Amino acid sequence: MRTSSNPAFRNLPGGGAASGPYGFGQTQGGVPGQGAPRTAAGEGERPITVDDVVMKTGACLATALGVGTLTAIWAQGQIASGSTGAVYGAVFGGMIVGLVLALVVIFKKTPNPALILSYSAAEGVFLGAITGVFTAAFGNQIALNAILGTAGVFAVMLVVYRTGAVKVTPKFRKWITGAIGGVFVLMLANLVLGFFGINMGLRDGGTLAIIFSLVVIGVAAFSFLLDFDMADHMIREAMPARWAWFVAFGLMVTLVWLYLEILRLLSYFQE
């Protein structure tokens, strides 16, 4: 069985991934029916469909965008009045709550709609507050460009997957997984060394920082292919429709990461 690099998908029952150049539920170089379903929908349970994935992902996005927009407006007002403490409290509070909820969803290994929507709301607070900070520093256009950039990357990678332009092979999966691990090791090293006054140049807005952000955006973009591949696997193996919430959660994790990195990259150019 194959697994996604997205941590949200790695503990799924069945754990595998099919591939598909024509969209969810078809294969891309695999053998249809290969690997018996481990969590197929039981009697009285409807199997997952593409519409389920789209609707649940849309619900998570709507929650994050709604909460995020309100939080961003509030954050800009707070910053304008000189009350930045509450804004940074919302940034760290949303980040911590979102992380805790994400870990609960991942290790609970069950598609809990309440937890997943709560995670989306927490990420909305986090992203909205941090967007308010960036907007106060660089203007409203930076947030709009980051949203458009994130949506554009997602759409392009969906087209790439559906057309089979890039095939999700075991070798490709290992490469992306290694790239994600390498990126996070560098981020952690940069953070730790920063406490000791050592600047690796990965987040200071210089040339190296721009290159690093572009690499991170590329890795995040290609990880969408593994997310789509995992959704294909779940549909092929006729898992219960409730697992669409887990697909939506995994896609949200990648979207949040991508948006933050695009926002950071745009701020470098503004500076």
User: Is 174 domain-assigned?
Assistant: yes
Residues 6+ away with beta carbon under 8 Å from 74: 128, 132
What is d(CA 220, CA 230) in angstroms, rounded to the nearest whole number? Answer: 15
pLDDT for 39: 52
User: Is 104 domain-assigned?
Assistant: yes
Residues 6+ away with beta carbon under 8 Å from 188: none
pLDDT for 64: 96
Q: What are phi and psi of 225, to 5 degrees?
A: -60, -40
Q: Which residues pair with 240 in a beta bridge?
A: 47
Residue 261: closest CA among 220, 229, 224, 230: 220
User: Is 106 domain-assigned?
Assistant: yes
Residues of the chain with pLDDT under 70: 1-44
Q: Domain tally for the chain?
A: 1
Q: What are phi and psi of 79, to 5 degrees?
A: -65, -40
User: Is 84 domain-assigned?
Assistant: yes
User: Is 101 domain-assigned?
Assistant: yes
pLDDT for 140: 86
pLDDT for 6: 52
pLDDT for 41: 54
Q: Helix or strand or coil: residue 197?
A: coil
User: Is 26 domain-assigned?
Assistant: no
User: Is 154 domain-assigned?
Assistant: yes
**Own/partner long-range contacts of 206-214 (Cβ < 8 Å, ≥24 apart):** 209/268, 210/265, 210/268, 210/269, 212/186, 213/261, 213/264, 213/265, 213/268, 214/265
User: Is 4 domain-assigned?
Assistant: no
Range of the domain at 228: 50-270
pLDDT for 40: 54
Q: Which amino acid is at 141?
A: Q
The CA-based dihedral angle spanning residues 257, 10, 54, 234, taken in that order and rounded to the nearest 10 degrees: 160
Residue 165: closest CA among 50, 17, 22, 24: 22
- Against a cut of 0.85, is the pTM above it? no
pLDDT for 42: 52
